[in-house]
Amino acid sequence: MSKHRDITCQLLVIGAGMAGMAASLFAARRGIDTVQVGLGGTIPFASGLLDLLGVYPVPAGQILTDPWEGMARLRRVSPAHPYTRIGNQDMQAAWRQCLGFLAEAGQPYVSQAERNMQVITPVGTVKTTYAVPHTMAAADDALVRRPPCLLVDFAGLKGFSARQIAATLGASWPDLRAVRLAVPRMQGELQPERLGRFLENGEHCRQIAATIHRRLDGARAVGLPAVVGVHRTRPNFEAMQQILGVPLFEIPTLLPSVPGLRLRETFEQHLPRLGVRAWYQHRVTAVEARRANEFRIGIGRDADGFRARTQAVILATGRFFGKGLHADRTAIRETLFDLPVDQPPQRDEWHHKDLLHPAGHAINRAGLAVDDCFRPVDVNGRRVYARLFAAGSILAHQDWVREKSGSGLAIGSAYAAVRACERLLG
């Protein structure tokens, strides 16, 4: 027998990726009685950078300095793209609320509002994104000014080589040096998370900063892998910055990343404080639509199941990786409500013959088509349920990987769905 009693709520958010977290945040801020259910989403597998729109048009691979100008162009030619249903005002309000929440929770992000920012990647290329953890903000300026700079890595840290980054960037950044440091008491192969938890300790960070300081040799900026703590990042980073006396920036590592973990753990700890009743590591096992305004949702973990009665649902279950969509031999299906999935009519149209074709593959644009309230619709454009909404990467007519729009899509569509939901709840 379940140890949990059945529960009731106004809104049930399914998913704990960026879209589910953002939807729960926006709903809690509007005073909607919200339950969230979701297994760990893709957040730790992401870099922790928050993209809005980095590339448009996709086939031309044009990197955008101004994401808002790119969105205006996108809306003119792609009426079905989710961004066409979200106005700039709502998008800006969504980002303000999301970044405000992260700052209050002790993991501030920096964005330039009107333009994209740039960071260095672990392979030494430059990535365009919209908002970066405060620990990466100084890279944007360093990439413009290119001062003498010291890149640091740590012996044993998997998949991160300061020397390789310096070699790749060196042609356009002459005074870039690399140094490898041993981490006291840490031996063997190091995953970013293990090092991140070790550097939760402020004393460890101060020791490392003092060692780097002795190696500065005229460097006017320092870059190091993104491992400065998981929860105590801000004070530890500031202490290191003070010891060094020159701008310091983190560089994303391979995945799963510490900035991704910081994001996930921040949401998981702080959303319940805003009143969200969260069931992380639980999954929705059954759904049943009763009358126009009631869903019965089965929630479970192992044999431990219970039911929720809710007036509305936001489906933020992601794509194939998140398990919101499933592809069998003939078709792509939505896994919980068996909603109509907008997809090419034939399986052999899923992929372009050229694997690396710049326009991408049709399968990546398959997903749930929605109305202006972000409610899934059928092939005739009729909404399926009056109070079922969808948000995030499960939506059709977008290709967030190529557009570099993952977080913007999640945050913007979650905001629009919650707004519509609030109106309908009355």
Q: Does 4 bind ligand FAD (CB under 6 A)?
A: no
Stretch that binds ligand FAD, among 193-201, 203-211, 241-249, 316-324 (CB under 6 A): 316-324
Residue where the block lists tokens 């701008």: 247
Q: Does 44 bind ligand FAD (CB under 6 A)?
A: no
Q: Does 410 bind ligand FAD (CB under 6 A)?
A: yes
Q: Does 316 bind ligand FAD (CB under 6 A)?
A: yes
Between 176 and 297, name the residue whose CB sits nearer to ligand FAD.
297
In the list 42, 111, 135, 343, the residue contacting ligand FAD (rule: CB under 6 A) is: 42
Between 146 and 323, name the residue whose CB sits nearer to ligand FAD.
323
Q: Does 323 bind ligand FAD (CB under 6 A)?
A: yes
Q: Does 284 bind ligand FAD (CB under 6 A)?
A: yes
Half-sphere CA count of 408, side-chain side, radius 13 A: 32
Handedness of CA 170, 172, 174, 176 (dihedral sign): negative
For the chain, the distance separating the N- and C-terminal CA atoms, rounded to the nearest angstrom, is 36
Q: Which residues contact 377 (CB under 8 A, 6 or more apart)?
A: 340, 369, 370, 371, 383, 384
For residue 39, the SS3 value is strand
CB of 23 to ligand FAD, least distance (A): 9
Q: State how far the Cα of 354 lies from the Cα of 392, in Å rounded to an integer.
A: 27
Stretch that binds ligand FAD, among 25-33, 40-48, 102-110, 213-221 (CB under 6 A): 40-48
Q: Does 318 bind ligand FAD (CB under 6 A)?
A: yes
In the list 9, 12, 14, 209, the residue contacting ligand FAD (rule: CB under 6 A) is: 14
Question: Is the Cβ–Cβ distance between 281 and 40 less than 8 Å?
Answer: yes
Q: State how far the Cα of 27 lies from the Cα of 41, in Å rounded to an integer.
A: 19
Strands 294-301, 283-290: parallel, antiparallel or unpaired by DSSP?
antiparallel
Reference 316, options 308, 325, 307; nearest CA is 325
Reference 155, options 184, 135, 120; nearest CA is 184
CB of 4 to ligand FAD, least distance (A): 16
CB of 220 to ligand FAD, least distance (A): 28
Stretch that binds ligand FAD, among 114-122, 193-201, 306-314, 392-400 (CB under 6 A): 392-400
In the list 70, 82, 122, 322, the residue contacting ligand FAD (rule: CB under 6 A) is: 322
Question: Is the Cβ–Cβ distance between 117 and 140 less than 8 Å?
Answer: yes
Q: Does 49 bind ligand FAD (CB under 6 A)?
A: yes
For residue 195, the SS3 value is helix
Q: State how far the Cα of 40 lies from the Cα of 30, in Å rounded to an integer.
A: 25
Stretch that binds ligand FAD, among 39-47, 198-206, 212-220, 381-389 (CB under 6 A): 39-47
Between 24 and 311, name the residue whose CB sits nearer to ligand FAD.
24
Q: Does 102 bind ligand FAD (CB under 6 A)?
A: no
Q: State how far the Cα of 392 lies from the Cα of 370, in Å rounded to an integer.
A: 12
> Tokens standing for 221?
């900026």
Indicate the burial class of 33 (C-beta count within 10 angstroms; 0-12, 13-18, 19 or more): middle
CB of 167 to ligand FAD, least distance (A): 23
Q: Does 16 bind ligand FAD (CB under 6 A)?
A: yes
In the list 24, 47, 161, 236, the residue contacting ligand FAD (rule: CB under 6 A) is: 47
Q: Identify residue 200 by its one-letter amino acid code.
A: E
Judged by the rule CB under 6 A, the positions of this chain that interact with ligand FAD are 14-20, 37-39, 41-43, 45-47, 49-51, 255, 283-284, 316-318, 321-324, 336, 392-394, 406-407, 410
